[in-house]
Every structure is written in structure tokens, then in C-alpha cells.
Amino acid sequence: MSQYAHQNRPAYPSEQPFSGGGQFYRGAGTPADSLAGKKHMQLSLAFGFLSFFLPIVFVPLALIQAGRAERLGEPSTAGKILAWTAVGYWVLWTIYMFLIYAFIASQLPMFLESVPPVYGPPA
């Protein structure tokens, strides 16, 4: 008899320890879901980088891919952070360019007054 005879169970467990019971570490579902989640996470990151160059197209794509990745159990915080950082960057750039334009437009009349008039070719 084994040393575990005082316990009402067999000496050897019927299932393997640390088998996980068919569950995966991070993903919910099958390995295909995990691979699809990683694909969406990588696309979100790539679109997040590209959103600095063409934000109107790539910011929504990055956020959509990040949402899909998170629904499949993959974290995609980096893609969302890059997309929203690009939005902030472009908002600040637009404000900066508007201020430059307003400054040039305000100085234009003074600049035009300092230029001597040209009536025709020199005689």
C-alpha cells in the first residue's frame, strides 16, 4: 500500500499536472484566435507608426485593429498610444501653422508699404 492510503484517493493522479486543461496562457479560445489576435496587434502597431504620416487614414485603422486584438485577448496598448499621439501631434501642428499664417498675414501690410513702387522701366 502507498503512503497516501489514509487519503481516499488513488496513489497516482488520473490527469497530468500542469496540463492547463486545454486553456491557453493569454488568449481566449483556440490557437487560431491567439494568432489572429497577434496579427491584429501587429497591424495596430504598424498603423500607429504610419498615422504620423497620414493620420486621416491610419488612426482609425490602428484603433480598429487594436480593438479587434483586445477582443481576442491580445494587449495592443502601444498601437492605441501611437495613434492618439499622432492625433495630438497633428492638432498641435495645425495650431502652429495657423499661428504662423496669422503672423505673416498681420505683417504683410507693413511689408508692402516698405517696398518702393515700380511704375515702369527705368529711363
Task: Say if 120 falls within a structural domain.
Answer: no
Q: Cα angle vertex 64, ends 42, 73, to 5°?
A: 60
List, for residues 19-50, the tens digit of each pLDDT value: 555 554 454 567 777 888 899 999 999 999 99
Full residue range of the structural domain in which residue 47 is found: 27-110
Give the count of alpha carbons within 13 A of 92, CB side only.
Answer: 7
- Domain membership flag for residue 31: yes
Q: Evaluate whether 66 touches 80 at the Cβ level (below 8 Å).
A: yes
Q: What is the pLDDT of residues 45-73, one digit of tens each?
A: 999 999 999 999 999 999 999 999 999 98
Asked whether residue 22 is domain-assigned, the answer is no
Residue 81 pLDDT: 96
Count structural domains, the chain: 1
Number of separate helices (H) and strands (E) present in the chain: 3, 0
Is pTM beyond 0.75? Reply is no
Residue 1 reports pLDDT greater than 80? no
Whether 1 is covered by a domain: the verdict is no
Q: How far apart are CA 100 and CA 19, in angstroms?
A: 64
